[in-house]
Amino acid sequence: MAKFNIGDIVVRKSYGEDIYFTITGIREGKSQKLEYVLKGVFYRIEADAYEEDLLKEDVRNVELNFKMEFMRAKKNASRKFYLNRILGIYRLRKIPGTILHIDSSSRFLNMCTKLYREAGIKSKGYVVAERNQPSVVRQILSRIRPDILVVTGHDGIKKGKSNLSNIENYRNSKYYVQSVKEARRYQKDPDKLCIFAGACQSYFEAIMDAGANFASSPGRININALDPAILSEKVALTDRRYYVTPEEVSSIIISGSAGVGGINTKGRLITV
């Protein structure tokens, strides 16, 4: 009988109890031992662990930490745009770019959508599992016609894998690569459709080669749940006459330059 259940919040002893995870699946692993599928509570990381490596956490403590982390990320996101929001100039004289956000996590999507809404940015969100994202992204793009596309969820380097040039050693990177390729079939010009794709520890180089403007993770690190939204907000609120640089992005997101990289990309804010 399983010691833990789907929905339990746990930490891994072998990693110093550093990250909160939600158990999203239970399966039989090697030697008929139960293996638990884990997804990060604050970070877009996917992992697995055996029962003996897990400790259950008090949900109340996790929720408190979650709120604190969320507020910290929001404060970081707002730093560059606070004055513009207070003055209301975007609502009065300018129109931000629109965002299509496809995410495997409904919780993370709700967090990001709230950030967009508070910034006065129009967005549309869809919850789609990573493996299904490539098959729906072009159809949704054609219907929504956004300025910015976010394709994200969870990811991670598979346990025991050291060859970071093999995409099969990543849990979901191949789906992000496929999604970006599909999106570029819809719109080839990176200045007409800005694409962010990836999650924690994703295969950055492969996602960029597929045609993304920005991707995670150059340093194969964990990225915060709000990093894709903070980046997209920056592009949406930057005037079309100017470029958003990777250096600017790394200065405002939680994970920094090791978390997200990319190319110079035109802003999507227009004057009316």
Residues 93 and 147 in one domain: yes
Per-residue DSSP letter, 254: S
- Say if residue 272's pLDDT is above 80: no
Q: Report the C-alpha gap between 46 and 40 in whole angstroms.
A: 6
H/E element, 117: helix 106-118
Find the mean pLDDT for residues 208-216.
Answer: 98
Same-domain pairing of 37 and 142: no
Residue 64 domain-assigned?
A: no
The pLDDT score that the predictor gives to residue 85 is 46
Is 210 within 8 Å of 177 (Cβ atoms)?
yes
Are 180 and 87 found together in one domain?
Answer: yes
Which pLDDT does position 63 carry in this prediction? Answer: 65
Output 57 or 71, whichever has higher pLDDT.
57
Instruction: Evaluate whether residue 65 is within a structural domain.
Output: no
Q: What is the token pair recorded at 204?
A: 């950055």
pLDDT one-digit tens code per residue, 126-179: 999 999 999 999 999 999 999 999 999 999 999 889 999 999 999 999 999 999
221 in a structural domain:
yes
pLDDT at position 67, please? Answer: 62
- State the pLDDT at residue 87: 41
Asked whether residue 246 carries a pLDDT value surpassing 60, the answer given is yes
Closest CA to 109 of 98, 99, 120, 119: 99
CATH number at residue 222: 3.40.50.2300
Rounded distance, CA 91 to CA 84, Å? Answer: 10
Band of residue 70 on the pLDDT scale cut at 50, 70, 90: low
223 has a pLDDT exceeding 60: yes
Query: For the chain, what is the domain count?
Result: 2
| Comparison of pLDDT for 43 and 210, the residue scoring more | 210
Task: State the pLDDT at residue 84.
Answer: 46
Q: Does the residue 72 lie in any domain?
A: no
Print the domain residue range for 41: 9-57
Residue 52 tokens, joined: 């003996």
C-beta neighbour count of 75 within 10 angstroms: 10
27: β partners: 35
User: Minimal CA–CA distance to 150: which of 117, 187, 186, 179?
Assistant: 179
Residues 109 and 188 in one domain: yes
The pTM for the full model equals 0.86
| Predicted confidence (pLDDT) at residue 114 exceeds the cutoff of 80 | yes
Residue 69, pLDDT above cutoff 70: no
